[in-house]
Amino acid sequence: MRIPPRPLSELYRLHAASVFRRARRLLGNEAEAHEVVQDLFVSLLERPEQFAGRSTMSTFLYGATTHLCLNRLRNERNRARLMRGRTEPAEEAPHTSADDVLALRAALASLPTQLAEVAVYYFVDELSHQEIATLLGCSRRHVGNLVLRVQQWGQAQEEDACSAS
C-alpha cells in the first residue's frame, strides 16, 4: 500500500527553510535564494510526478535545489558574457575573498551539470562518495570517477591560468 503524498502546503512548511538555506549558500544572494524556493515549489505544484519516490523528499529537494542553483549560475555567466560583448571591459578589481567566491561560482557554471553537482556535493558539502551516489542514483565507483574528472578539470584550469599570466 502506497502512502499518499503530503499536501504541497505541508511540504513547503517542512522544507522551504532548508531549501532557502541551501540556495543562499550556493548563490550567495538572498533574493535569488527566495526565487529558487518559489521556483522549486511551483514546479512541484505543476509537475508533482517529478518526485518519483526513489528517495526521501528532503533528498529530492536537496538535489533539485542544487540543480536549480547551478542552472542560475550558468545563466548568470551567459548573461555576463553577452553583456561584455556590448560594453567595454571593466577594470580588474583587486583580488579578494569575494572574488574567490565569484570565481568558484563561475567555475561551477562552466562545468557540465553532473560534474558541477559532484563538485558541490564533494568539495563544498563534504559528502562521502556513498552519499553522493545516493543523491545521483549511481554507483560509488562512478562518483569516484566524476570526482577525479572534476579534479583534472581544476588542474587544467590552474595550468591555463598560470600559462596566461
pLDDT tens for each residue of 121-152 = 888 888 889 888 888 888 999 999 999 998 88
* Cut 0.85: pTM above it: no
| CB-based contact 47:83 (threshold 8 Å) | no
- Domains with residue ranges and CATH for the chain: 1-96 (1.10.1740.10), 111-165 (1.10.10)
C-alpha distance across the termini of the chain, in Å? 63
Give the position of cell 545516493: 134
For 137, phi then psi, to 5°, come to 70, 40
Residue 89 has pLDDT above 70, yes or no: no
State the amino acid at position 33 in one-letter form.
Answer: A
